Amino acid sequence: MNQISDLKGRLLEQIPAYEIFSEEPLSKHTSFRIGGPAELMIFPRNVKELSQVVKTMHEMQIRPYILGGGSNVLAPDEGLRGAVIVTKDALIGLRLLDKTHISAMSGMTLAKTAMFAAQDNLSGLEFAHGIPGTVGGAVYMNAGAYGGEIKDVAVKTEFMRLDGTVEVYEGDAQGFAYRSSAFQKMDGLILCTEFALTPSAEANVRSKIKELADRRRAAQPLELPSAGSAFKRPKTGYAAALIDEAGLKGMRIGGAAVSEKHAGFIVNLGGATAADVLALVKLVQERVLDRSGVLLEPEIRLWGAEHEN
């Protein structure tokens, strides 16, 4: 029996109701709809089960892959050998803490979190409503849109280390910068985050959410699988404009294409592979660098590569 089979057996002994799948396609769990099979995929149902999984893997010296909503991930075509913990179903819950603060478990979608704030007459998360993915992923990468960023409203985050210990990071200790946070340099996973918001009439908050949603639908290829913005904003200019100016709208490699609607998105037209996406990313970088002298940095996370670092 290999180590992963042994892990599966141990977990099923501890909590027989676990959902654990062997050779589960990653493409079913990423917004890009790309990725081969994971050797083992584990779906804990609550924080207690999640803690048990993490501690067991730590004892067995198995380093897990952590997958939340899968909205900013490019999973490898060959899949992954090892164990993937899917956290989004285990980390569900929203709480109103006081008149201006809410707490969101990391598995909550940004859309539901923004609407929860609106129902409690709180403003500050309108920008996040249309960003795909979960609170945990958004905090991890300091997601932002339309002039707002997670760093503007996140005041405290609980983080679970891979040995199961829980730490709290407040204010500047969260280490937010453009599309990054302190959590990107840590081994573990985000449990929940507290947001400090501003009182505002629910109707006004909902109106702003609708306004931004209309702008997104008009400008972004929401009807096609993608991982959101493919490139980070360069120090000068905008990635989408630079890509458009390089004549790359509609450029296609295999099933992957630069969106005709928004040049900052790489979309899956059907049957795209990770190799297609990576080749297109490289082509866009080369063409934009040749034309404008700007080297675009990918915003999409190549899953698997960072796990080995």
- 258-268 residue pLDDT tens: 999 999 999 99
How far, rounded to the nearest angstrom, does the alpha carbon of residue 155 sit from its chain's CA centroid?
Answer: 19
- Residue 113's CB is within 10 A of a number of other CB atoms, namely 23
The pTM of the whole model exceeds 0.75: yes
Cα separation, 111 vs 269, whole angstroms: 25
pLDDT at 304: 64
pLDDT at 305: 53
For residue 52, which of 16, 14, 82 has the smallest C-alpha distance? 14
pLDDT at 174: 98
pLDDT at 308: 40
Tell me the catalytic residues: 179, 229, 299
pLDDT at 16: 76
For residue 243, which of 281, 297, 283, 284 has the smallest C-alpha distance? 284
Domain ranges for the chain: 3-86, 94-205, 221-302
pLDDT at 214: 92
**Within a 13 Å sphere around the CA of 172, how many CA atoms are in the beta-carbon half?**
0
According to CATH, what is the number of the domain 94-205?
3.30.465.10
Cα separation, 68 vs 48, whole angstroms: 17
Give, in words, the CATH class of 221-302.
alpha beta
Residue 301 · residue 235 · CB < 8 Å? no
Q: What is the DSSP letter of 234?
A: P
Query: In this structure, which topology does domain 3-86 adopt according to CATH?
Result: 3.30.43
Residues 6 or more apart whose CB falls under 8 angstroms from that of 46 comprise 90
The C-alpha R_g of the chain, in whole angstroms, comes to 20
Low-confidence ranges of the chain (pLDDT < 70): 1, 304-309
